[in-house]
Structure 1
Amino acid sequence: MSNAYHITGRSLILFTFCLFLASLLSGCTGHIPKEKIPGIFAPYTSATPVKVVTIPLPVIASSPNEGITAGALTAFLFHNKDDEINTLLAPQVNHNTNFGITTSLYGAFYPTPDRNVEINLSQSTRINNDYEIKLRDKTFFDKKLEVNLSTFVFSDGSSRFFGFEAKSPQQQETNYTDTEVGFNFSAGYDISRHFQLVLGERYRDVAIEPGAVKGIPYIKDQFGTSSVPGINGFATHAQRISLVYSTLDSATTPTFGGFAKLTFEPTFKALGGAADFRHYEAEAKGFIPLDNARYISVFRLMYNQTLGKNVPFLEQSILGGETTLRGYGRNRFVDNSFLLCNLEERIRLFRWEVFNVTADWEVAPFVDLGAVMEALDKARTSNFEFNPGIGFRAIVRPNIIGRVDMGVGRDGPAIFVGLGYPF
């Protein structure tokens, strides 16, 4: 049985209330002389001293894989010359039974609407670390070319594997450390007003090592070293091509429009991959507003298929976690294909201004429905997971979303705390 921790509904309400109360009582507004702002961001700030809103917050989070995390962070919100937030810095210190003390720094920089940078620097006293940089820039060729680049080095000692197929039992739960280094690059060109052609490349080098969670068997002890492709580590070097259609009114906080994406991604052993295999993916999303976008009905349909022999288990079609099936931890279900449907009603409860920062507070009841399978024609109704749940979000438009999502699956409830919409 799993020893993952869960937060009850009462604790979720308490957590949300504490977050709101801390924002009201603990924040303050100050100003920093313009000459002390790093030069790369100075042109986008005001000519006068730069306004900075400082908000200390408690950290109380839980997920099925990591367990309970508690600590504190301070959010620094920097404003530009139009009094919009264009920089977020959030140093944090927290404690987790599995990983010890973790210190981290998250930064999000939006110098212009067409260029943003995210950094995440995190180090734990036991196993876990995460160093990531993400860049998006759409200032090339009269804003028709969009470039995205992310690089990463991380170790996650909370990783889980339950076996393959839709009915992999909870009793087969194993733990391991997923250590990776790699990059993901894409260049998308607008071929018309709503269509974009995207070419991409990614590389990841994966090592599988003993995990950090006590009481759960090590993956190699339970499954052996030959029954699971990639269990001894692997590398992936893949190229991809995507066709994207979008009428969304915003890339980060959409309230209206549609989105569709078709992707083909082959991986070749001759180019450094662990095996020859192919990914096919189709995704469609829609956003339907009512009452001046106070209510937004959101849906997502997604199908993914992986074809090939000896495909590493972490490269197969995977469901579970904060962006797919929110009633389960990450990577809960693994097989050759998956079919996923997400339905969500985003309801703005109120719009509140705290220390000159305007935030929309949302509640979002949702249903996640999905299953993994060998192939689409072998999908069975009995294999689909039904995960109802509810989310709470605070949105500072146009860039910043904080969220708490709680979903319920057959293994019990799961709660996720993070930044950005789940889809």
Structure 2
Amino acid sequence: MMNPQVGQDSVSTALVPAIGYSSNEGLLGGLIYSRYDYRGNVAPFNNLFESSAIATTKGFVEVEATYEQTKTFGRDLRSIANFYFYRYTQDQFFGIGNETTFSDQQWDNEYYFFRSIGFSFDYRFRKPIYEQGRSQLDLQFGAATEYHIPYVRQQQSSFVQAMPVGSDGGWTNNINTGLVWENRNSEFDPRRGNRLELELRGAPNLISNYGLATARLELRQYFYLFNFLTVANRFEARHAEGDIPYWEMSTLGNKNTLRGYPLNRFKGNTSVAYTLELRTWLLKFPDFYGLKFGGQLFTDTGRVFTETDDANDLFERYHQTVGFGGAMSILNPDFILRGEMGFSEDVTRIYIGVGYMF
């Protein structure tokens, strides 16, 4: 259900319940809640709150919440706070490297699974340092804390056989900085424009159980074809250096990269990922609360690198997945409920969330 009060100077809310069943996790229940505050005529919004929670009868729990404020402390300072908590009854570890193997029999015997629990809190600011028309360059800075621990490890499992760095759990506390440049025509449903983000993070031994540093570069591009089709491109490269626990490694196989592969399928020091997505709104009912139905096709490509790889591996042995999905928007064009199915050579996975993936 949604609050129908949507406009330039209004507040809009969305509440979406979910229920399901999985043979592995049992009965599933979830809730998605979003709140969009447009009061004050501040673009793209005054503040935004997005949250989701899911739990199953077999102990799986995942909770995430994000709050954004475009004007913080009355200044031209955008703040973003993100909280994440999980209790995975089937966290997954396949080893380190781009060529780790997958076996249906070992998957069925839960060889790749272990149980883990963790949480993170991230708070950052964005300060504009250049603005002209729709183009804007922001300086970004902030800090984050996170804790992870595997609490159940079967002796006959890939995790115990490898005992990666971080197998005893622990804290990583980091400070971060970077730049964000963009000129997209919309943050929620972009059809034209670009976005670039460079992020540098450091977790010194003085405040963390593991001392490490990471660098991440993300490029996005959008353009419109035939007056109905959005072509969305995303490239991301990430590198981690130092005493790297398994949860801080550059990882592919999640809701943002190589959709369709099992969770955390590939881990390495460095990762490169690319996504091409075609999006369109298929059916529109403007007189019925602005209801829209859309669809998307996508392909994800990427690979990870370890210290044993060399320059010749840069253009070889990339993994690829394909998939399709649907989208729905009602009352508020900024609220988009998305569902997708990704196909890989290993398994097939389903993803549900608010907003486009990028």
TM above 0.5, yes or no, is: yes
Between the aligned partners of 2:70 and 2:155, the Cα distance in structure 1 is: 42
Matched, 1:195 2:137: yes
Q: 1:327 to 1:100 in 2, by over 3 A?
A: closer
Q: How does 1:376-387 map to 2 (within 5 A)?
A: 377=311, 379-387=313-321
CA drift of 1:360 comes to: 3.1
Q: Secondary structure at the match of 1:383?
A: coil
Q: 1:400 to 1:222 in 2, by over 3 A?
A: same
DSSP-derived class of the 2:67 partner? strand
Residue 368 of structure 1 is matched in structure 2 by 300
Q: Are the structure 2 counterparts of residues 374 and 225 from structure 1 closer, same or farther at C-alpha, using a change threshold of 3 Å?
A: closer
> 1:284 and 2:284 equivalent?
no
Q: CA offsets, 1:354-396, max 9 Å, x none?
A: 8x32233222222211001126836344420021222222234
Instruction: Using structure 2 for the length normalisation, give the TM-score.
Output: 0.86
CA deviations 1:153-199 (Å, max 9, x no partner) are 32121211100101111137511222112311111111111100110
- 1:349 Cα offset (Å): 2.0
Give the structure 2 partner of residue 388 of structure 1. 322
Rounded Cα–Cα distance in structure 2 between residues aligned with 1:391 and 1:325? 15
Does the CA contact (< 8 Å) of 2:95 and 2:158 recur in 1?
A: no
Q: Does 1:240 align with 2:184?
A: no
Indicate the SS of the match to 1:347: strand
- 2:33 equivalent to 1:107: yes
Deviation at 1:267, TM superposition (A): 1.0
Task: Look up the match of 1:411.
Answer: 346
- 1:201 CA displacement: 1.1
Asked if 1:256 is matched to 2:192, the reply is yes
| 1:80 aligned residue | 5
Go from structure 1 to structure 2 and tell me whether the alpha carbon gap of 1:275 and 1:127 turns closer, same or farther (over 3 Å shift).
same
One-letter amino acid of the counterpart of residue 240, structure 2: T
- Say yes or no: does 1:341 pair with 2:277: no
Bigger-Rg structure (1/2): 1
CA contact (8 A) 1:175 1:219 kept: no
Q: Secondary structure at the match of 1:191?
A: strand
Residues in 2 aligned to 1:135 and 1:281: alpha-carbon distance in whole angstroms: 22
Cα distance change, pair 81–262 in 1 and its aligned pair in 2 (3 A): closer
Question: How far apart in 1 are the matches of 2:50 and 2:242?
Answer: 34
The equivalent residue for 1:319 is 252
In the TM superposition, what are the counterparts of 1:10-409 in structure 2 within 5 Å? 76-80=1-5, 82=7, 86-112=12-38, 113-140=45-72, 144-171=76-103, 174-193=112-131, 194-210=136-152, 218=154, 221-224=157-160, 227-271=163-207, 273-292=208-227, 294-309=228-243, 311-353=244-286, 356-374=288-306, 377=311, 379-396=313-330, 397-409=332-344
CA distance in structure 1 between the partners assigned to 2:6 and 2:318 by the alignment: 50
1:195-245: per-residue Cα shift (whole Å, max 9, x none)? 00110211111111238xxxxxx3774443773111221211011101010
Distance 1:407 1:206, change over 3 A: same
2: CA distance, partners of 1:416 / 1:153: 18
After superposing on structure 2, the runs of 4+ consecutive aligned residues of structure 1 that deviate more than 4 Å are none
More helix by share: 1
Distance in 2 of aligned mates of 1:167 and 1:422: 26
* AA of the residue aligned to 1:323: N
Q: Partners in 2 of 1:388 and 1:91 — Cα distance?
A: 28
Letter in 2 for 1:319: L
Amino acid at match of 1:82: G
Q: Which amino acid in the other structure matches residue 408 of structure 1?
A: F
In structure 2, do the counterparts of structure 1 residues 339 and 196 end up closer, same or farther at CA, with 3 Å as the change threshold?
same
**What letter matches 1:298 in structure 2?**
A
The whole-number CA distance in structure 2 between the counterparts of 1:105 and 1:322 is 18
Whether the 8 Å contact between 1:162 and 1:333 is mirrored in structure 2 is yes
**Closer, same or farther: CA 280–327 of 1 in aligned 2, 3 Å:** same
Secondary structure in 1 matching 2:130:
coil
In the TM superposition, residue 336 of structure 1 has moved relative to its aligned partner by 0.4
CA RMSD of aligned residues (A): 2.4
- Write the distance in 2 (CA, Å) between the matches of 1:139 and 1:230: 38
Query: In 2, are the aligned partners of 1:326 and 1:387 still within 8 Å (CA)?
Result: yes
Q: Percent identity?
A: 21
1:105–1:298 CA distance, 2 compared to 1 (3 A) = closer
Give yes or no for contact 1:174–1:219 (8 Å, CA) kept in 2: no
Query: For the structure 1 residues 138 and 164, does the alpha-carbon distance in structure 2 shift closer, same or farther, using more than 3 Å as the test?
Result: same
1 CA distance for matches of 2:4 and 2:141? Answer: 34
SS in 2 for 1:389: strand
Task: Give the distance between the partners of 2:82 and 2:60, measured in 1 at CA.
Answer: 19
Question: Given residue 285 of structure 1, which amino acid in structure 2 is its aligned partner?
Answer: R
Unaligned runs of 5+ in 2: 39-44
How far, CA to CA, are the matches of 1:286 and 1:204 in structure 2? 31
User: Contact conserved, 1:127 with 1:155, CA < 8 A, in 2?
Assistant: yes
Please state whether the residue corresponding to 2:206 is helix, strand or coil. Answer: helix
